[in-house]
Structure 1
């Protein structure tokens, strides 16, 4: 069976839908932060505060559910092989980056659920601190890697996840 040259349409849709939701939650955590601040200070959040926090929470839950579907699809579907004409260390960096992305994509919503729905303060700390910072770093590394692949190595790696 020949190797696939691009990700399947469902894989690409899941990738970009998750990317949008992840960026949304990383860039706009204000509603959740305001809700948490009110709760921490013993104040009662308004319905608007709760609704704003819920938007963040529901986007996180959607990310978790899509990640489960995406991981399942990855386990049963072929993925394109890495480019042959590049140094081995780049393949290693890509593998580590993807592993970290998957781990963080699961850790972030799970810690958020633990914090928001179960009131676990440690989960709130790691969710909004170390996990969030590491996720930003890995996302930036992932994007830079795709751009280096496209512009420096002139590979089709970026095309595989966009137009196929």
Structure 2
């Protein structure tokens, strides 16, 4: 039987990872500056490396936490899609979630390839392709949650925030 809500560890990981993901998407100046210096063959200072390392370490944390989330998802399960959600949109939600998990693994791996192994192709895929796809999926994910909350008036947001309590028996 599927749970009514995500577990507390699943919710903490979800929101913690959301903060880390947005941090790396919004504050990527350090790694981008490092990348420009490397491409131009200019000297890299310890401060440049420190700034780039912050982005890299946050990305590695996202990778590790994504694996933990997948394990928890497998062990603890997830709530079923609300009945109010049309079947086609339920499929879209499953595909979006699957692609988000895939990106939460591929983005750090391509970032590691670019930063630690000087693989320019991995860096281009990371910054020019996967980053754009991630932004699009995040917009779709947030839009889907808002549609559930305000149009269908389901408990989807509650399941990932404070949790849904078992309905009272009659």
Q: For this structure pair, what is the TM-score category when the shorter chain's length is used for normalisation?
A: over 0.9
Determine the C-alpha separation between the residues in 2 that align with 1:115 and 1:161. Answer: 34
Paired residue for 2:93? Answer: 94
Superposition pairs of residues 8-157 of structure 1, within 5 angstroms? 8-157=7-156
Q: CA deviation at 1:78?
A: 1.8
2:4 alignment partner, SS class = coil
Paired with 1:80 and 1:72, the residues of 2 have a C-alpha distance of 15
* Counterpart contact for 2:84–2:154, Cα < 8 Å: no
3-state secondary structure, aligned to 2:44: coil
The 2-side partners of 1:128 and 1:78 are apart by 32
Q: Compute the TM-score of the two structures, normalised by the length of structure 2.
A: 0.94
3-state SS, counterpart of residue 53 of structure 2: helix
What is the root-mean-square deviation of aligned Cα atoms in Å? 0.8
Q: Distance in 2 between matches of 1:100 and 1:79?
A: 17
Structure 1 stretches of 4+ moved >6 Å:
none
User: How far apart are residue 5 of structure 1 and its match?
Assistant: 1.3
SS at the partner of 1:40? helix
Partners of 2:62 and 2:3 lie apart in 1 by 26
Aligned residues: 163
Output the CA distance in 1 between the equivalents of 2:30 and 2:15: 24
Distance in 1 between the 2:84 and 2:27 partners?
Answer: 40
Task: Give the Cα separation in 2 of the matches to 1:46 and 1:104.
Answer: 31
Distance in 2, Cα, partners of 1:38 & 1:94: 40
**1:85: Cα distance to partner?**
2.6
C-alpha distance in 2 between matches for 1:120 and 1:84: 46
- Taking structure 1 as the reference length, the TM-score comes to 0.97
